[in-house]
Amino acid sequence: MEDEDLRKMLVKFPPAPTSGKIVCEVKGVSKSYPDRKRPAETKEIFRSAELTIAKGEHLALVGANGTGKSTLVRMIMGEEPYEGEIRLGHNVIVGYYAQDMPERMNPQGTVMETAEYAASEDNRVRVRAMLGAFMFSGDDVDKKVKVLSGGERARLALCCMLLKPLNFLILDEPTHHLDIQSKDVLKEALKNYDGTFLLVSHDRDFLTGLTNRLLELDDFRIRDQHMDILELIEKRKALQGADIGKSSAAQPKVKAEKASKSENADQRERDKERKRLQSQVQRLEKQLAELEAEEKSLQAEVMKSGMPADAVQKGYARMGEVAERIASTMKEWEDASLRLEELGEEKLA
């Protein structure tokens, strides 16, 4: 049996305790921040947003950079103030993985101590096996958290979540520091999880086939998209391309010649902007494909047996850089795609 297959067998969430039918409700929630560029003004994030999460749903939050994905997660966790009401359901037990979770752990604790502290009484017997599944074995378990790399801390933080019974997982960019094998193991565990989870991720491969409901943040609202991430991407592309190439179509006649010229000029500007954004989207998609290919190559390289320690360390450092570039490029792609969709809607209107 392959090591990865064995890890997938070992890495399973404990059965989720029974919760109420409604896990989380967001009612009439509004949120704004002071605008950094204009201190006297505020930047609106949510306006009377509504959301109901039912027991057993597997959800992903998607949206352009700055639309409030991590903000919504922090509001649910009570880490951000807001107007309105957010309420957890009956007997909901939350497990939270924040973007900075690897930095939140006690740096003076060992790997073993950290896992044992997180484990419930019934799961203490699983600690060593679970650590092994997350590639902590032998003397690794006696290392202090402060000497671990970002990827090792991320693996340890996720390992801790699998050592106690939870029924509502909230995961904010959990794959950011993970190698491809660890991503696959986590994805398989989430697929088989019998509780509810809410996931924020820019990793398209990780999201594909994982969720049964997408929540898209746009225009200060939470939009329901009952489709897979790839279906949403194709839908966006269809909207983007619907009106490309129609700029030469005859304009309707108007009585005022001046108004007609102004409308034509506005239309030309929109068409010009639409073409520019379409080109940008295509360029970013090519960059994403190249970066994801490099990431997979690096992940395969560092997993080779017999690699010198310094080469492995350099490989992980480069993986971190590539992961950050993938995240920033994905955000750029989302922003450009959203703007293209808005231009398409303006044209249809």
pLDDT value of position 1:
43
Closest CA to 339 of 8, 61, 64: 64
Lowest mean pLDDT among 65-74, 133-142, 251-260, 296-305: 251-260
User: Is the pTM here over 0.85, yes or no?
Assistant: no
Q: Lowest mean pLDDT: which of 107-121, 197-211, 322-336?
A: 322-336
Mapped onto helix, strand or coil, the DSSP state of residue 47 is: strand
How high is the pLDDT of residue 103?
84
Segments making up each domain of the chain, as ranges = 3-232, 257-348
For residue 319, give both structure tokens: 């993986």
Region 67-76 average pLDDT: 92
Kindly tell me if the per-residue pLDDT of 141 is higher than 90. yes
Q: Which CATH architecture group holds 3-232? A: 3-Layer(aba) Sandwich (3.40)
Report residue 66: phi and psi, to 5°: 90, 5
Whole-number percent of the chain with pLDDT over 90: 34
Spatial distance between the Cα atoms of 342 and 349, rounded to a whole number of angstroms:
11
Residue 23 corresponds to which tokens in the numbers above?
């896990």
Alpha-carbon dihedral sign for residues 281, 286, 287, 292: positive
pLDDT tier, 248 (very low <50, low <70, confident <90, very high otherwise): very low
pLDDT tens digit sequence for 14-62: 999 999 999 999 999 999 988 777 777 888 899 999 999 999 999 999 8
**DSSP H or E stretch at residue 122:** none
Question: 292 falls in which pLDDT band (50, 70, 90)?
Answer: confident
∠ CA 75-185-153, nearest 5°, is 60
Tens digit of each residue's pLDDT (9 = 90 or more) over 305-347: 666 767 766 776 777 777 778 877 877 777 777 777 666 655 4
Task: Tell me what pLDDT residue 348 has.
Answer: 41
Q: From the CB of residue 11, how many other CB atoms can be counted at a distance below 10 Å?
A: 20
Half-sphere exposure of residue 47: CA atoms within 13 angstroms, side-chain side:
6
**Which of these CATH numbers, 1.10.287.380, 3.20.20.20, 3.90.1150.10, 1.10.287.90, describes 257-348?**
1.10.287.380
Q: The tokens of 192 are what?
A: 């088989």
Segment 77-112, tens digit of pLDDT: 999 999 999 999 999 999 999 988 888 889 999 999
Residue 43 bridge partners (DSSP):
33
What does DSSP assign to residue 23?
A: E
Q: What is the pLDDT of residue 42?
A: 84
Question: What own/partner pairs with CB < 8 Å and gap ≥ 24 does 263-266 have?
Answer: none
